[in-house]
Amino acid sequence: MKTAFIMQKEIRESILTPKGFSWYVLTSVILSVLSYLFLTNSELSLLDQGQMLYMIMNFITALGILVGLVFGADAFAGEVERGTMEALFLSPVTKAEIAIGKLGAALTNWAIILAISLPYLFVVGKGGQNLLIGIAYVAILGTFLAIIFSAFSMGLSSRVKSVKNSLMVTFFIFLLAGAPIFLSAAQRRTWFGRILDFINPFACAINTFDSVVIDSQGLAYQAGRVAIICGYLLLSLWFLKRSVSRLEM
Amino acid sequence: MIINVENLIKKYDGYTALDGLNFAVEHGDIFGFLGPNGAGKTTTIRILTAIIKADSGNVLIDGYDVFREPMAVKNIVNALPESNGYYEWMTAFEYLEFFSHLYEKKTSKQEIHDLLETVGLHRKEGHLIRSYSRGMKQRLGIARALINRPKLLFLDEPTNGLDPKGRRDIHDLVIDLNRKGGTTIFLSTHLLDDVERLCNRIAIINYGTIVKIGELDRMKGKGSIEEIFFLSTKEGAL
Amino acid sequence: MADYTSAFAASRITAAIDPPSIQANMGDKITYIGTITNHSDRAVNNVIAYISLANVTQGKESPMDLEDWSANKAIKVYTIPPHGTYKGQWPMRLIDSGSYVAYITVVDKNDNIPISSPMSRLKVKRVLRLNPNNVLPVAIGEPVFIGMVFMLIAFKRRKRVK
């Protein structure tokens, strides 16, 4: 129950302050521009519907990761810097309860972003193949990735105790995670590209989206990549638990 | 005894913050904990409130072992830390309501109103904390520290940075809490005026150990508090 | 060097493309029919037929990479009987506007030169789509809606708190 109140406090801060709500407005504006460009730009609009849906799914997932990283960076370091952490520690709440509450709020942020994205997914994917299955995959894998990157970021935040340093590292992580996007199709087929794809949970997700939406492949085909993502999920939660347990004033 | 500390040791990266601390506090005391900057006052409070762990030693708070039963201790104590931050986007009422949910003892909305009235903030309970003055924030911090109706209240430099009226308001509040509410107060400060006005017993800490402890009146018989403080904390006083 | 005229006369194969001209819009899907006729008394085997497109728009003359236009650009025909014909289909999606010519080329390894059909003229018109897939209500409506929700929350909070 205490976890729920901490989560509620975090969510209220997201919704009631411009700092939080601006992310939702930004998500909507960027998706509006992207989807309009996709559908009206002379070259982009002639992409296969599946291709368009795939690209929007990647963007939504990347945005979910970014928001998770940014909120996570502030989770503990921000409270320490603003002097509010001590009052929390004085209360009969365990560090694990605080972490779970904050992680719950991070997931709620992701859920709001996903809800905002749904109309765009429907509009861009309308008439194309695998729309509903694509949405299901972005919801499930996107949630896993939101947890992974939020948890890593929060764990880092509790160790570093500085929002500035925490943000710097999380942006670096974001660039690393997004690295496969910057490689060409040919580069991704090299040994280096394959290793990068293999160890990168975001790459696993976008390859899964490609496989499901464009190539219409089933769940069994995704098993390996989904297993890697689940592995990262466990690792990130372990990292968060361990980092937070060592957090001291 | 509400506090019993035995041989408390705490080290940070080779630096010894507390070096075998021993003292006790009785129920109903307003206990002054004096010392120069860096003496170990805040570290002591953080250990007694189960925020941080010690390297060795024993601490009992109202019979509860702080290291083995931290949650039980947190339910009966509370503190106003020296640098206390606030969720400035909240109102005072929302702030107290949030913290009230974290304790086993439930606090009703009316009790929160009453608490804000006790600290003189009832007219501003719907205002955002970011609009509060420093003195108002201190009073809000005390309200937060009273949310669980603690038996033992730690105040770490509560009048720092306040104007004379603000300081007097805090003094009156502390005296009220102790005399009417029966709350034991552990007051950590380096302001000797606060000690003289509020405390019945004091301890002086320097370099992580207690250099003097006893009834304030008895100590004053041997000289002014200022003299006793400077004599106890000068170089080589240990 | 081979004599083209005599080589053409000596080839067993001719190629034709239908329709001879098309006018369509960007994004439309069309299909060319290529007819390969075997004029000889012997069957022809394993010939390759492929479609080519060239941009003949004034100032933009260039060969076209059919990567995004068509998935099956080349067909292998296993056998055409003596005096027989083969009709192949080349579906295409019109990706860009402009003037083009399309033609079918047939390669028989027993011949010296490839055989091309006459050119089919293709005019693709640019179409301005302002609201494809009904995107506008979402693209404009959703940010406005979220902005309004935010303003409502901020307004209600301002009323409640001071």
Domain that holds residue B11: 3-233
Which has more pLDDT, C136 or B226? C136
Residue with tokens 């693709």: C124
Residue B238 near chain A (CB below 8 Å): no
Q: Output Rg (C-alpha) for chain B, integer angstroms.
A: 18
Q: Please give the pLDDT value at position C27.
A: 80
- Residue B126: closest CA among chain C residues belongs to which residue? C161
Counting every residue written for chain C, the total comes to 162
Say if the Cβ atoms of A9 and B87 lie within 8 Å: yes
How far apart are the CA of B132 and the nearest CA of chain C, in angstroms? Answer: 11
Chains in contact with C, where contact means 3 or more Cβ–Cβ distances below 8 Å, are A, B
Q: How far apart are CA B24 and CA B58, in angstroms?
A: 12
Q: Please give the pLDDT value at position A175.
A: 84
pLDDT band (50, 70, 90) for residue C71: low
- φ/ψ of residue B96, rounded to 5: -70, -35
How far apart are the CA of C134 and the nearest CA of chain A, in angstroms? Answer: 7
Give the side-chain half-sphere CA count within 13 A for A198: 7
Residue C146 near chain A (CB below 8 Å): yes
Domain assignments of chain A as residue spans, ordered by start: 2-245
pLDDT in tens, C15-52: 999 999 999 988 888 999 999 999 999 999 999 999 99
Q: Choosing among B86, B101, B105, which should be mutated to test the A contact, i.e. which has the most A CBs within 10 A?
A: B101
What rounded mean pLDDT belongs to chain C? 85
Residue with tokens 């109202």: B62
Q: Please give the pLDDT value at position C7.
A: 42
CB-defined contacts A:B, below 8 A? 61
pLDDT in tens, B59-117: 999 999 999 999 999 999 999 998 889 999 999 999 999 999 999 888 899 999 999 99
* pLDDT higher than 50, residue C5: no
Q: How far apart are CA C59 and CA A41, in angstroms?
A: 22
pLDDT in tens, A121-142: 998 888 777 888 999 999 999 9
* pLDDT higher than 50, residue C4: no
- Residue B85: closest CA among chain A residues belongs to which residue? A83
Q: Please give the pLDDT value at position C10.
A: 53
Is-contact A51 A128, C-beta < 8 A? no
In angstroms, how far is CA C53 from the centroid of its own chain?
Answer: 8
Is-contact B41 B188, C-beta < 8 A? yes
pLDDT band (50, 70, 90) for residue C6: very low
- Find the Cα–Cα–Cα–Cα dihedral B76, B84, A3, B91, rounded to 10°: 110
- Residue C97: closest CA among chain A residues belongs to which residue? A42
| Cis peptide bond upstream of C19, omega within 30 | yes
Q: Please give the pLDDT value at position A44.
A: 56
Is-contact B82 B43, C-beta < 8 A? no
What residues contact residue B15 under an 8 Å CB cut-off, 6+ apart? none
Cα distances from A20 to residues A23, A101, A114, A149, in angstroms, run 6, 17, 15, 18
How far apart are the CA of C159 and the nearest CA of chain A, in angstroms? Answer: 13
Tokens encoding A38:
């996709």
Q: Name the residue facing B52 among A5, A93, A249 (closest C-beta).
A: A249
What rounded mean pLDDT belongs to chain B? 89
Is-contact C80 C44, C-beta < 8 A? yes
The 8-class DSSP code of residue A212 comes to: I
Q: How far apart are CA A105 and CA A110, in angstroms?
A: 9
pLDDT in tens, C126-152: 877 667 767 888 999 999 999 899 889
pLDDT in tens, B15-50: 888 989 999 999 999 999 998 888 889 999 999 999
CB-defined contacts B:C, below 8 A? 10
Residue with tokens 């606060």: B194
Q: Please give the pLDDT value at position A47.
A: 63
Q: How far apart are CA A136 and CA A99, in angstroms?
A: 27
Looking at residue B162, which CATH number applies to its domain?
3.40.50.300
What residues contact residue C152 under an 8 Å CB cut-off, 6+ apart? none
What ipTM describes this predicted complex? 0.89
Q: Choosing among C30, C125, C146, C152, which should be mutated to test the A contact, i.e. which has the most A CBs within 10 A?
A: C146
Domain assignments of chain C as residue spans, ordered by start: 4-128, 129-162
Is-contact A73 A163, C-beta < 8 A? yes
Which residues of chain A register pLDDT less than 50? none
In a domain, B195, yes or no: yes
Percent of chain B predicted with pLDDT > 70? 97
Residue A128 near chain C (CB below 8 Å): no
pLDDT in tens, B147-206: 999 999 999 988 888 888 888 888 888 999 899 889 999 999 888 888 888 999 999 998
Counting every residue written for chain A, the total comes to 249
**CATH number of the structural domain C4-128:** 2.60.40.10
Say if the Cβ atoms of A45 and C27 lie within 8 Å: yes
Domain count, chain B: 1
Say if the Cβ atoms of A9 and B104 lie within 8 Å: no
Is-contact B5 B205, C-beta < 8 A? no
What residues contact residue B204 under an 8 Å CB cut-off, 6+ apart? B34, B35, B210, B211, B212, B213, B228, B229, B232, B233
- Reference A103, options A136, A143, A140; nearest CA is A143
At C130 the three-state DSSP class reads: coil
In a domain, B238, yes or no: no
Give the side-chain half-sphere CA count within 13 A for C67: 3
Say if the Cβ atoms of A13 and B89 lie within 8 Å: yes
Say if the Cβ atoms of B127 and C160 lie within 8 Å: no
* pLDDT higher than 70, residue C1: no
Is-contact B88 B100, C-beta < 8 A? no
